[in-house]
Structure 1
């Protein structure tokens, strides 16, 4: 699985493979391969005891091959393994009189065990899956983008096998310093496809894990218009904010689409712009998207579980640790994937002291509490910084807050809607000592629209005009929406 087969010699590393096996007949998707126990009975099922036996046998042959031909190139080595897989499956199929569809499913399952994520791989390949929820080795749920949830078959036969799968995912994702055990009960990492994994073990009756997939990983602002997240007016406004080097914080609920919007705004950077992304797990994919050429991609590192002489977690590199050296890298902009701790102070200092055009995200249940969330994070710093300082630096450093909301009507037969609801302009400190704001965009509730529509010109409208923004667009009171958001509850239909 993902570079090392089950029950094979762990001292012999296997490189990730480029899949070349034939796909199962039917829809032609890798998701046709379904583990035993799914309710998709029309799909081919796989006996994983057979798949593991074949994978183990191929791994042993590969080990002998490497000893005999140590200089064999990876492509030839991989192709030899694939030929052994096909031959072994054909022998098994002939003995059992299996159908061609079952042959293809078994080939893909063995390939996944050897080179990819094992029994988890079909779910990672499914473009409809948004979350993979693992409740111990026997209980796995899939959350789809439309809000449906489905229980599927197990991805391991025992808790130990599940833990080994999680450890292998960490090793094969380039996070050799990360593992999961009773001594290190949590694991957070990005998988090769960009999915985000969080796992917990030893703190309850089971091992729990959630894999959050980025179904919309390369969308631009135009794509978000097609998806109904923003309209063309707001698209042009956000594009102008980026080009005019305004500091923007994207706030919103969990799973509302903050990172998707951040990635879309990053596509508005000039390809030659030199900037840093600072993240706990890489979810922005800027350094390898083929568009940006000057990206300093920095990812924090977890502790190895030990303590140094000062009592600090040994080996740990926090986002705050990354902020200070990043500021010395001759950067034009800084992007923080998610501000969630003391790094908010360094971020705000960068906003007030450096050049503009910086972006970040933050969790907040509503647009009204964004500044309180920032103040809470200031209080978590070692110096327990004051609320007044948090408000002052926020007002001085930020230009705009863009709030992403979500309305979920899946429980009543509707859909899950993600959209920008507000754009707030920072306007200094108000009478209460909190940052004052102007609502540049807000919901058009008076005509049944929850999504953002224009309300007024920002104070920096001339800066936006200078980069090509047509300020007349802000006079469209209903924006460019063809009709209000179609809801089952609260719609004017």
Structure 2
């Protein structure tokens, strides 16, 4: 069992393997004495008790027992103190500011078992790398002004090529074959991943360069594409990866005769050179994962254990770092690139990579078993337009048509969902329906939005740093955006006091604005908005806040991650008013995810027509409704 921990304030994410039969979840600074053999997970936040709850192995399953002063919920159901409740993979545990998903890694580590002697390849690569570092006095060179010059890197490559040649000349042939096997597998993975990209011309140009640079690897790869029957199109991406992860080893073994001694040397040499240069200039083993669009998250639990999220499911990555030092060098490089630092006194930090990907790193002494790294990738290169989301089953064509009509009709929309459910992806996709020429101001704390408009202003918050004691919050930026004459305001994510300013913007001439927020259902979203407004205006009466929400928000689009790992829109609801009996905000579903057809949940129209339906439909010359296909 794996624990996928995320913090609602955006302060980071991490994945922890659940190994002990009894694990205590405590506050970050807890000094609680634990029973012998018990594990401990420290959670950030001032509202986490010590212990907050205990997770225990119960026969073949697991149970959770609440102990804290503050609430613990399992799948949104509150727990009673001292009463154990059974939990299993797919369920989530919530405590204030923290959501913990229980995840069972899928039985897809066939890719791992296809490389049983990977330690030998890592040892060969590390031997060459260490020799190069010593020969070039790399630790001194990297701090000099000459390091970035092409001449310097050219001299380093000459020495590297010499060391690789000497190592391969003395290496046994079965080890050379293992290096080639790694190279071919990674080439095929990149080739499959490219089918998900939008820019076909860029793909073709990249493939042409690869064929020219490494003709022999290209020829072997093409032969295996045929043997594995890879279709290499967007719709087959998932199936192609399944073929690669299950049949690659046998297919490679059967086709070793495709290359002679010269082919073997060239492929192995190019692969080792690429890997070592990635260690020296980029992020080592995870560089390749950063380049694979189908990977949405990278979780390094320790230097020799890497998990990835692919198609919404966690699986073990077959390759890893050679030692702790390599992983620490990568973390330090990411920190330097982000103008941040991480050390024993500040052993936990959040960074942002050059492409916008969000990084959380924890190092010893806080990380007991070695440094760990979690990267939530920015989907800029692989951003899906909404038609591809329909193809992927995230929503139906009628839902797409309805959302398009709602955006064009300038309806205020809140996209709701859990961590990693696809909120930002959908928000990016909805932006393609904003008419060209409208002025949009986008506000976010991490640069993730890529809006399909020519008149877009991007604003980004700034936290306090060692260099600057002044912070600029999302709320500051939303207030400033109101002075920039926007037609629409889009906030990447509402987490706190900025919600009141966002609601006021929606109510004061900025119709068609959109934002995202964390909630499990549209009804929960209404409660969450109340809480966020109270964080900024605690003196406001609750009824006044609810009236503001009803006046401002017109649609809630709910996303969830299903058991299969698929992300889907599970409900589109209209906010219609306040219940006179309960005083709660009423949301009415228009579309929802129901039933099962062939084992898959399906989207359906509920029968409820939204109050603004007349603004969405088309009329003919006689004033009659032209069509209502979106509600069929």
Task: Please state if 1:319 is matched with 2:474.
Answer: yes
Mark the CA change 1:235 to 1:40 in structure 2 (over 3 Å): closer, same or farther.
farther
Query: Partner of 1:372 in structure 2?
Result: 527
Alpha-carbon contact 2:561-2:568 (below 8 Å) kept: yes
CA shift for structure 1 position 423:
1.0
Q: In 2, distance between residues paired with 1:353 and 1:223?
A: 34
Query: Partner of 2:487 in structure 1?
Result: 332
CA shift for structure 1 position 332:
1.7
Task: Please state if 1:472 is matched with 2:628.
Answer: yes
Query: Partner of 1:122 in structure 2?
Result: 288
Helix, strand or coil: the match of 2:548?
helix
Mark the CA change 1:363 to 1:62 in structure 2 (over 3 Å): closer, same or farther.
closer
Alpha-carbon contact 2:361-2:374 (below 8 Å) kept: yes
Query: Partner of 1:426 in structure 2?
Result: 575
Structure 1, 267-276 or 441-450: larger mean CA deviation: 441-450
Q: In 2, distance between residues paired with 1:100 and 1:41?
A: 20
Query: Partner of 1:309 in structure 2?
Result: none
Helix, strand or coil: the match of 1:401?
strand
Query: Partner of 2:514 in structure 1?
Result: 359
Query: Partner of 1:297 in structure 2?
Result: 458
Mark the CA change 1:40 to 1:437 in structure 2 (over 3 Å): closer, same or farther.
farther
Correspondent of 2:445 among 280, 295, 298: 280
Mark the CA change 1:246 to 1:416 in structure 2 (over 3 Å): closer, same or farther.
same
CA shift for structure 1 position 105:
1.8
Query: Partner of 1:54 in structure 2?
Result: 132
Helix, strand or coil: the match of 1:199?
strand
Alpha-carbon contact 1:259-1:361 (below 8 Å) kept: yes
Alpha-carbon contact 2:410-2:511 (below 8 Å) kept: yes
Correspondent of 1:208 among 372, 395, 398: 372
Query: Partner of 2:418 in structure 1?
Result: 253
Query: Partner of 1:195 in structure 2?
Result: 357
Query: Partner of 1:92 in structure 2?
Result: 163
Q: In 2, distance between residues paired with 1:401 and 1:192?
A: 32
Task: Please state if 1:224 is matched with 2:389.
Answer: yes
Query: Partner of 1:8 in structure 2?
Result: none
CA shift for structure 1 position 376:
2.1
Helix, strand or coil: the match of 1:292?
coil
Mark the CA change 1:358 to 1:64 in structure 2 (over 3 Å): closer, same or farther.
closer
Q: TM-score, normalised by structure 2?
A: 0.58
Q: In 2, distance between residues paired with 1:97 and 1:136?
A: 29
Q: Give the alignment's Cα RMSD to 1 decimal.
A: 3.6
Task: Please state if 1:179 is matched with 2:341.
Answer: yes
Alpha-carbon contact 1:196-1:283 (below 8 Å) kept: no
Mark the CA change 1:428 to 1:316 in structure 2 (over 3 Å): closer, same or farther.
same
Query: Partner of 1:109 in structure 2?
Result: 275
**Structure 1, residues 282-327: CA drift from partner, whole Å, max 9, x if none?**
12234xxxx5332222222222269xxxxxx933222112211122
- 5+ residue gaps, structure 2, are 1-110, 170-264
Query: Partner of 1:438 in structure 2?
Result: 588
1:151-190 equivalences under 5 Å are: 151-155=317-321, 157-158=323-324, 162-172=327-337, 175-176=338-339, 178-182=340-344, 184-190=346-352
CA shift for structure 1 position 224:
0.8
CA shift for structure 1 position 50:
2.6
Alpha-carbon contact 2:164-2:273 (below 8 Å) kept: no
Mark the CA change 1:298 to 1:139 in structure 2 (over 3 Å): closer, same or farther.
same
CA shift for structure 1 position 55:
6.2
Count of aligned positions:
413
**Structure 1, residues 366-397: CA drift from partner, whole Å, max 9, x if none?**
23311111122223336364433332221111
Q: In 1, distance between residues paired with 2:437 and 2:371?
A: 44
**Structure 1, residues 169-213: CA drift from partner, whole Å, max 9, x if none?**
2443xx42x433455454334323343222344545244331122
Helix, strand or coil: the match of 1:296?
strand
Alpha-carbon contact 2:444-2:461 (below 8 Å) kept: yes
Q: In 2, distance between residues paired with 1:171 and 1:180?
A: 9
Q: In 2, distance between residues paired with 1:180 and 1:64?
A: 22
Mark the CA change 1:86 to 1:357 in structure 2 (over 3 Å): closer, same or farther.
same
Alpha-carbon contact 1:251-1:370 (below 8 Å) kept: yes
Alpha-carbon contact 2:415-2:423 (below 8 Å) kept: yes
- 5+ residue gaps, structure 1, are 1-33, 68-73, 307-312, 409-414, 477-493
Q: In 2, distance between residues paired with 1:94 and 1:446?
A: 58
Alpha-carbon contact 1:55-1:110 (below 8 Å) kept: no
Task: Please state if 1:140 is matched with 2:306.
Answer: yes
> Which protein shows a greater Rg?
2
Task: Please state if 1:393 is matched with 2:526.
Answer: no
Q: In 1, distance between residues paired with 2:336 and 2:601?
A: 47
